[in-house]
Structure 1
Amino acid sequence: MELTTIWFVLIAVLWIGYFVLEGFDYGVGALLPVLGRDETRRRQMLGSIGPFWDGNEVWLLTAGGATFAAFPHWYATLFSGFYLPLLLILVALIVRGIGLEYRGKVDSTSWRRRMDLMIIGGSAVPALLWGVAFTNIVRGVPIDAQMEYVGGFWDLLNPVALLGGLVTLTLFLTHGALFVALKTDGALRHDARALGVRLGVVAAALAVVWLWLVHSSTGGLVSGTLAVLAAAALVAGLLAARTGREGWAFTGTFVAIALATASLFVALFPDVMPSTLDPAWSLTVDNAASSAKTLGIMTWVAVVFTPIVLLYQSWTYWTFRRRISGHHIPTDVHHAAVTAETRQGSDRPDRPLTSA
């Protein structure tokens, strides 16, 4: 197998890892106003993703960096042509990070409400726009002979791409709801599981139409098979959720997102960005790639560091595997008292500020 093909596969794996892991973070954040009916439930939800969300974002950084190094022409065309939607995603991720990090720093209901709005918007916007972006990438965009995108922002908001955005949004909402059901206990667990089933039905209906539209024009037998398996995994996950088996339910959405993403990359190969103006102007794994020497060095780096990253993330998920119940969350009165004591008691510098 050529190095260009190997790196195309590795980048696909990075995007799969990003969507299946960061996908439930997006879902949990966007569902905050729906499932988080009081402060205790909101802290349970945010506590469920607290140890993971920033580590999950590393997959995006690595995917972007790998694309830049392995396929610089792909990176340049993608980030210049999709500049505005990618900027909106970046701003949303920054806003969400601020909300998650600073929510518990001020003991004020209005402060926490503002941080919650930042978390909700910063989760929903990327969940929608990633579907729009990937639908356009796979179906093709206007690229000229100089490998430059010659369309406009509104060209990206075509009906099929917007449908793709709704698919990723509803899939991530389902994924997030089932993650909350898996990681919490009490009334929140049951409400999240029931909501996940309802959202999953909507996501499945939208996904079937979207995958058919995408693969009918670009896909082949392998990508179509992966799409069918993705739909089957989602249905199996929803059936498991109905019977109260949250672990299998979350596994179902996990596998469904992974297979759906894999089907898009299989449909795309050997192109990396097809041109709708002339197939000869499409960016491929060959004309968009770096030199063989660069790819060779990167391959050895990946061989050394990828297992380390996987081991670290596996250890993190194992360490924080237990459910979060309501009694694990301090009451608002206790939270306010500890916060006030920490602020006023300079003689107790060893007492940390309680955060959500």
Structure 2
Amino acid sequence: MELTTVWFALITLLWAGYFLLEGFDFGVGVLLPVLGRDNRERRLIINTIGPVWDGNEVWLVVAGGATFAAFPEWYATLFSGFFLPLLFILIALIIRGVSFEYRGKRDDERWRRRWDWCIFGGSLVPAVLWGVAFGNIVRGVPLDAGHEYIGGFFNLLNPYALLGGLTTLVLFALHGAVFIALKTDGEMRERAGKLAATLSVPAIVIAAGFLLWTGVAHFDAIGVIIFVVAALALIGAAAATRLRREGWAFLATALTLVLAVAGLFVTLFPNVMPALDPANSLTVDNASSTPYTLKVMTWVAVAFTPLVVAYQGWTYWVFRKRLTIDRIPA
């Protein structure tokens, strides 16, 4: 197997890991004003992701860095053509991170509520725009012969990409509701479980529509098989939420997100940035770094990736216990 294919697969894995881990962070943030009736309940919800949210964002940094090093042409075209959406995502992530730290700096309810809404907005914007971005990557964008993006911002807001944004939003919200039910106990666990069961219905409908559109418009046999398994996993998540089996529900929503990302990348391959004119598309071959660069990066990845994964797994193990409202002081 060529190193360009290996690194395409590794970048797929990094994005799948990011959607899996940061996905429930976004879902928790979006559901904060829905499930949190007062300050103690909102603190309980935030505490479910408190020890892990910043570590989950590392997957985005690594995915961006890997893309820059392995496929610099892809990185340049993506970050120049999608400048505004990615800027909005970056600003939202900054606001969200600041909000987690600042909401408790003053003993004032209005102060905390403002930062809670910032957490909501800082989670909602990336949850939608990541779907829009990946929808456009799979669909194809206007590129010239020099692989420069020649469209405008509103070219990115096409029906297929907007459906992709709605899909990631509902999937992340469902993933977040299941995670809250998994990490809490008592009344919050019950409410989050009921909300997850409710969200599973629109999630199935919207995700099925997006995956069906993708399979028909950009047919790839292996990609379609992966999408079918992802759909079955989502149906399994819906059943598990109704049975109040939070562990199985979380495993199913996690599998849904990982398989959905994998299916999109399989459908994309060997392109990394398809153009509306196929002659101008970026592929794993014409967008990649030199073979020597890829070889050095491969050895670095082999050495350090297991350490990073092991450390993050240890973090989740340490903070594995359920949280209860009685442990949140008034």
Aligned equivalents of 2:60, 2:200: Cα separation in 1: 25
User: In the alignment, what sits opposite 2:259?
Assistant: 259
User: In the alignment, what sits opposite 2:229?
Assistant: 229
User: In the alignment, what sits opposite 1:285?
Assistant: 284
Secondary structure, in 3 states, of the residue corresponding to 1:287? coil
Aligned equivalents of 2:132, 2:141: Cα separation in 1: 12
TM-score normalized by the length of structure 1: 0.92
User: In the alignment, what sits opposite 1:309?
Assistant: 308
Structure 2 unaligned spans of 5+: none
Aligned equivalents of 1:119, 1:147: Cα separation in 2: 36
CA positional deviation for 1:217:
1.7
User: Cα RMSD between the aligned structures?
Assistant: 0.6
CA positional deviation for 1:65:
0.4
Q: How does 1:235-274 map to 2 (within 5 A)?
A: 235-274=235-274
User: Structure 1: which amino acid aligns with 2:23?
Assistant: G
CA positional deviation for 1:101:
1.5
CA positional deviation for 1:244:
1.1
User: Structure 1: which amino acid aligns with 2:105?
Assistant: K
Runs of 4+ in 1 over 4 A off after TM superposition: none
User: In the alignment, what sits opposite 1:337?
Assistant: none
CA positional deviation for 1:197:
1.3
Secondary structure, in 3 states, of the residue corresponding to 2:272? strand
Secondary structure, in 3 states, of the residue corresponding to 1:323? coil
For residues 204-237 of structure 1, give each alpha carbon's deviation from its aligned partner in whole angstroms, at most 9, with x where no partner exists: 1011111111121213111001101101001101
User: Structure 2: which amino acid aligns with 1:19?
Assistant: F
For residues 176-229 of structure 1, give each alpha carbon's deviation from its aligned partner in whole angstroms, at most 9, with x where no partner exists: 000000000111101101111111110110111111111212131110011011
User: In the alignment, what sits opposite 1:210?
Assistant: 210
CA positional deviation for 1:241:
1.1
Aligned equivalents of 2:15, 2:120: Cα separation in 1: 22
| Residue 111 of structure 1 pairs with residue 111 of structure 2 | yes
CA positional deviation for 1:111:
1.2
For residues 30-51 of structure 1, give each alpha carbon's deviation from its aligned partner in whole angstroms, at most 9, with x where no partner exists: 1011000111211110000000
Aligned equivalents of 1:132, 1:42: Cα separation in 2: 29
User: Structure 2: which amino acid aligns with 1:300?
Assistant: W
User: In the alignment, what sits opposite 1:325?
Assistant: 324
Aligned equivalents of 2:99, 2:80: Cα separation in 1: 29
Aligned equivalents of 1:88, 1:54: Cα separation in 2: 18
Q: How does 1:91-130 map to 2 (within 5 A)?
A: 91-130=91-130
Aligned equivalents of 2:41, 2:239: Cα separation in 1: 25
User: In the alignment, what sits opposite 1:142?
Assistant: 142
Aligned equivalents of 2:5, 2:313: Cα separation in 1: 27
| Greater Rg over alpha carbons, structure | 1
User: In the alignment, what sits opposite 1:341?
Assistant: none
User: Structure 2: which amino acid aligns with 1:122?
Assistant: G
User: Structure 2: which amino acid aligns with 1:87?
Assistant: L
Secondary structure, in 3 states, of the residue corresponding to 1:272? strand
Aligned equivalents of 1:110, 1:228: Cα separation in 2: 46
User: In the alignment, what sits opposite 2:166?
Assistant: 166
For residues 246-298 of structure 1, give each alpha carbon's deviation from its aligned partner in whole angstroms, at most 9, with x where no partner exists: 0001111000011011000000000001110x212100000000000110111
CA positional deviation for 1:171:
0.3
CA positional deviation for 1:328:
1.1
Aligned equivalents of 1:196, 1:314: Cα separation in 2: 25
Percentage identity across aligned positions?
Answer: 62
User: Structure 2: which amino acid aligns with 1:310?
Assistant: V
For residues 90-133 of structure 1, give each alpha carbon's deviation from its aligned partner in whole angstroms, at most 9, with x where no partner exists: 00000000001111122111111111011000000000000000
CA positional deviation for 1:57:
0.1
Aligned equivalents of 2:213, 2:243: Cα separation in 1: 32
Number of aligned pairs? 330
Aligned equivalents of 1:214, 1:239: Cα separation in 2: 25
Aligned equivalents of 1:301, 1:107: Cα separation in 2: 47
Aligned equivalents of 1:209, 1:219: Cα separation in 2: 15
| Residue 37 of structure 1 pairs with residue 44 of structure 2 | no
Aligned equivalents of 1:103, 1:255: Cα separation in 2: 33
Structure 1 unaligned spans of 5+: 332-356
Aligned equivalents of 1:143, 1:219: Cα separation in 2: 22
Secondary structure, in 3 states, of the residue corresponding to 2:103? helix
Aligned equivalents of 2:240, 2:114: Cα separation in 1: 36
User: Structure 2: which amino acid aligns with 1:156?
Assistant: L
Aligned equivalents of 2:177, 2:219: Cα separation in 1: 31
| Residue 52 of structure 1 pairs with residue 52 of structure 2 | yes
CA positional deviation for 1:165:
0.4
User: Structure 1: which amino acid aligns with 2:17?
Assistant: G
User: In the alignment, what sits opposite 2:298?
Assistant: 299
Aligned equivalents of 2:34, 2:219: Cα separation in 1: 37
